[in-house]
């Protein structure tokens, strides 16, 4: 039996930076004795979140801040998660006079800035992404003329006014193939849509690597959080090339029967999956055989 890792997998730059920021903030002398909160899930991985909570970080939910039901007080510290938040939350946190540390990934911030900039130049925005994802909700909250479409089908139903100029932006973790289809549709139907590809580099190389790996292995294990968008995309891509693809959170999800008669095992992990989880899973797989 051979275990082959995808060429690119696991922690990305944005997730690593957000975790580093948490520990830097908590070890900073000036924050000694202060209550330190993280806004929602810092990254979409339950293991990372539970480790942070063991270290004493508290969680404050967006919905509670919006409803005025949070327990934040002046002087508390709030760390903004890697996929950012909405303009309203930033405003409410400032009003509460808490100290804000922004761990929003720079790629998310760039999209937010581009959206505001393109709107100010007169463009209406078409945003391709999952409307329910916090990253998307956060980014689009900074705009005024934004339509969100999850996929090509939804885009086809969108009324695009030939007299107006549009700018298409994307969620950082969008499936590249999905974007290519959207691009080719728009290039043939609507010349008044300027397409700005904002899929982040970390997402792109991980998606290409899982496709390459899925084609050469008997079974592919995708490791990541249930709510992680980029992990789900890796699963979808692998599944489209290899039906023996399984998405798991940790070693307890593995099933012996998946490996019966299989010799080449592929492994990839979402951008918020810690290396120690990957190692535990590899060890468990070796133990199964």
The closest alpha carbon to 272, from 140, 116, 128, 103, belongs to: 103
x/- string (CB under 6 A) for ligand F3S, residues 165-184? -------xx-----------
> What torsion, rounded to 10 degrees, do the Cα atoms 234, 86, 153, 178 define?
-30
Q: Which stretch binds ligand F3S (CB under 6 A): 12-20, 29-37, 156-164, 185-193?
A: 12-20
In the bound state with ligand F3S, the residue whose beta carbon lies nearer, of 173 and 175, is 173
Query: Which part of the chain contacts ligand F3S (CB under 6 A), choosing from 7-15, 25-33, 60-68, 113-121?
Result: 7-15
Tell me: does residue 103 bind ligand F3S (CB under 6 A). Answer: no
- The residue (of 72 and 269) whose beta carbon lies closer to ligand F3S is 269
Instruction: List the one residue out of 240, 106, 85 whose CA is nearest residue 172.
Output: 106
Q: Which of residues 68-87 bind ligand F3S (CB under 6 A)?
A: 82
Interface residue with ligand F3S among 8, 9, 10, 14 (CB under 6 A) is 14
Closer residue to ligand F3S (CB): 14 or 134 = 14
What track of x and - describes contact with ligand F3S for positions 268 through 287 (by CB under 6 A)?
A: ---x----------------
Q: Count residues contacting ligand F3S (CB under 6 A)?
A: 15
Region of 13-21, 61-69, 72-80, 140-148 interacting with ligand F3S (CB under 6 A): 13-21
Q: Is 210 in the site for ligand F3S (CB under 6 A)?
A: no
Q: Which stretch binds ligand F3S (CB under 6 A): 11-19, 48-56, 67-75, 126-134?
A: 11-19
Contact assessment for residue 152 and residue 126, using Cβ atoms and an 8 Å cutoff = no
Instruction: Classify each residue of 11-50 as buried b or exposed e, where b means 16 or more C-beta atoms within 10 Å of its C-beta.
Output: bbebbbebbebbeebbeeeeeeeebbbbbbbbbbbbbbbe
Q: Active-site residue 135, yes or no? A: yes
| Contact between 108 and ligand F3S per CB under 6 A | yes
Locus of tokens 């903004």: 80
Q: Is position 242 an interface residue for ligand F3S (rule: CB under 6 A)?
A: no
Structure tokens at 23: 């520990």
Catalytic residue (choose from 62, 135, 211, 251): 135
Counting contacts by CB under 6 A, is residue 12 touching ligand F3S?
yes
Nearer to ligand F3S (CB atom), residue 72 or residue 80: 80
Q: Which is nearer to ligand F3S, 124 or 175 (CB)?
A: 175
Among 39, 65, 202, 222, binds ligand F3S (CB under 6 A): 202
Residues assigned a catalytic role: 135
Residues that bind ligand F3S (CB under 6 A): 12-15, 82, 105, 107-108, 172-173, 200, 202-203, 230, 271
């Amino acid at each position: 039996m051979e275990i082959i890792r995808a060429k690119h997998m696991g922690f990305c730059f944005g997730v690593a930076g957000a975790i580093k920021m948490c520990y830097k903030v908590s070890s900073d002398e000036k924050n000694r004795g202060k209550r330190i909160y993280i806004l929602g899930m810092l990254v979409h991985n339950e293991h990372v979140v539970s480790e942070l909570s063991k270290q004493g970080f508290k969680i404050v939910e967006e919905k509670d801040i919006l409803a005025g039901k949070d327990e934040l007080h002046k002087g508390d510290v709030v760390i903004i998660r890697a996929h950012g938040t909405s303009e309203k939350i930033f405003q409410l946190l400032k009003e509460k006079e808490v100290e804000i540390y922004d761990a929003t990934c720079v790629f998310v911030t760039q999209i937010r800035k581009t959206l505001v900039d393109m709107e100010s130049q007169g463009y209406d925005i078409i945003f391709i992404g999952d409307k329910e994802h916090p990253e998307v909700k956060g980014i689009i909250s900074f705009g005024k003329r934004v339509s969100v479409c999850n996929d090509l089908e939804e885009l086809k139903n969108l009324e695009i006014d030939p007299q107006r100029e549009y700018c298409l932006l994307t969620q950082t973790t969008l499936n590249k193939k999905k974007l290519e289809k959207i691009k080719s549709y728009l290039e043939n139907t609507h010349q008044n849509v300027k397409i700005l590809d904002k899929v982040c580099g970390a997402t792109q190389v991980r998606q290409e690597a899982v496709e390459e790996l899925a084609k050469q292995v008997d079974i592919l294990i995708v490791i990541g959080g249930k709510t992680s968008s980029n992990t789900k995309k890796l699963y979808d891509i692998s599944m489209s090339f290899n039906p023996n693809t399984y998405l798991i959170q940790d070693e307890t999800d593995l099933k012996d029967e998946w490996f019966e008669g299989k010799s080449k095992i592929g492994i990839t992990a979402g951008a918020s999956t810690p290396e120690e989880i990957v190692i535990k899973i590899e060890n468990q797989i070796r133990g199964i055989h």
